Amino acid sequence: MEPVNEIAREDLQRLDRDDPLAGFRAAFALPPGVIYLDGNSLGAMPWAAGQLARQVVEKEWAKGLVTSWNEAGWFGLPVRLGGKIAGLIGAEPDEVIVTDSTGIDLYKALAVALQHRPERRVIVMEGSNFPTDNYVVQGLVGQLGDGYEIRFAEAAELGAAIDRDVAAVCLTHVHYKSGRILDMAAITKAAHEYGAMAVWDLCHSAGAMPVDLNACHADFAVGCTYKYLNGGPGSPGFIFVAGRHLDKYQQPLTGWWGHAEPFAFERDYRPAPGIRQLLSGTQPVLSLAVAEAGIDIMCRADMRAVRQKSMHMTDLLIELVENRCVGFGLELASPRDAASRGSQVSFHHESGLPVMQALISRGVIGDYRAPGNMRFGVTPLYLRYTDIWDAVEILWNVLETGVWREPEFSSRGPVT
């Protein structure tokens, strides 16, 4: 017998009709028949991104050639996009720049943070963080030598891990797997009380919820543009340096784009003033230019409304799954309290990969994070409440029919 569903689809249709963000959906290209619950891995394509791509390739590149560095504003893209993202993360426009990948940006930001505390050797990180952050910092620590070490601590142990040996805490605001939010204001304050710098990774919070770096007195931050900012596959990351820390120490990848006068072609490095020093070399203009489409859309949205809808939708997803899919071995792997949860929900299932792959074959795209985590991203600008309902119906069907046991769903591609 089918379990009783207490939420009616009609109620959700009403919510969709009254949704103040409903108009944003038309700005995105979404394939028919697909419910996209993976905007926390790769955001959907804004129609404007396609137009920008054509403009940059066919006009600015094909016709403008090298003159487009000036005429089309290519050279200024990192600073211009940084200024726009600043408004989404509680920063000043001259504190943010878009460049390189998040991992490289983390390397640069942390390397500067450590120079602020030259007598200290410990970096506090969460071991369960998205691995690239750990890998990058392990690389930096190995290179620095001289007693530098990472002190791994999980969320509940952070308080005890921060002491006067700590040069920097380097944490991700919203956990990539569980969606758990760390209290940025409180942890930054605790770090500062012990004289440590606070470096934040905003990959799962920029564009997903209001972030106020300066109100939290954060020192440095990095993040992605290809997740909730819908910048496109592999679009560059961003770096925030609090204004009070600009022009004090140099980031280590001192290339010509971060030089005070790149076109003076001097023999020796002289740092550019301000946030431009965080640049290294020639930037991926196509990726940067296209990313502006998604960033512009996000800048038009009311981030508080985005957060409201996101909390409502993740609550709804949990409630529907727990009512509808009871008895199939799914276990919530995200905080139950919406205020502690980012814009995603994970469920653990011992056969999470084949269940997710069967679900994807039926048009509901989430992703899988080993071991056993089925991850569903909620992106309020292009999802409807009824999409959540429909996705859970399809999940129920996949579990009820056992179709996920078919061998085709057990093979694993290089990306999950």
Interface positions with ligand PLP (CB under 6 A): 101-103, 130, 132-133, 172, 176, 201, 203-204, 224, 237
Query: Does 201 qualify as catalytic in the annotation?
Result: yes
Q: What whole-number distance in Å separates Cα of residue 358 and Cα of residue 185?
A: 41
The type of residue at 416 is: T
Query: Does 24 qualify as catalytic in the annotation?
Result: no
Tokens 């093979």 found at: 411
With respect to ligand PLP, which residue has the nearer C-beta, 191 or 208?
208
CB of 86 to ligand PLP, least distance (A): 19
Q: Which residue in 28, 107, 176, 226 is the catalytic one?
A: 226
CB of 130 to ligand PLP, least distance (A): 3
Contact assessment for residue 90 and residue 221, using Cβ atoms and an 8 Å cutoff: no
Q: Are strands 220-223 and 197-201 parallel, antiparallel or unpaired?
A: parallel
Q: Which residues contact 177 (CB under 8 A, 6 or more apart)?
A: 128, 333, 346, 369, 373, 375
| Residue whose C-alpha is closest to residue 194's, from 108, 245, 122, 110 | 122
Contact assessment for residue 207 and residue 87, using Cβ atoms and an 8 Å cutoff: no
With respect to ligand PLP, which residue has the nearer C-beta, 204 or 384?
204
CB of 276 to ligand PLP, least distance (A): 21
User: Would you tell me how many other CB atoms lie within 10 Å of the CB of residue 93?
Assistant: 14
With respect to ligand PLP, which residue has the nearer C-beta, 120 or 227?
227
Q: What whole-number distance in Å separates Cα of residue 236 and Cα of residue 223?
A: 9
With respect to ligand PLP, which residue has the nearer C-beta, 13 or 128?
128
User: Would you tell me how many other CB atoms lie within 10 Å of the CB of residue 58?
Assistant: 10
Q: What whole-number distance in Å separates Cα of residue 119 and Cα of residue 114?
A: 9
With respect to ligand PLP, which residue has the nearer C-beta, 21 or 239?
239
| Residue whose C-alpha is closest to residue 277's, from 295, 306, 257 | 257
CB of 375 to ligand PLP, least distance (A): 11
CB of 284 to ligand PLP, least distance (A): 12
Q: Kindly list the distances between the CA atom of residue 389 and the CA atoms of 35, 105, 207, 274, 382, in Å, as whole numbers in the listed order.
A: 10, 38, 24, 48, 15
Query: Does 130 qualify as catalytic in the annotation?
Result: yes
CB of 170 to ligand PLP, least distance (A): 11
With respect to ligand PLP, which residue has the nearer C-beta, 203 or 333?
203
Strand partners, 29: 45
Q: How is residue 93 annotated by DSSP?
A: G
Q: Which residue in 105, 201, 367, 387 is the catalytic one?
A: 201
Q: Which residue in 28, 107, 130, 228 is the catalytic one?
A: 130
Strand partners, 123: 150, 168
Active site residues: 130, 201, 226-227, 375
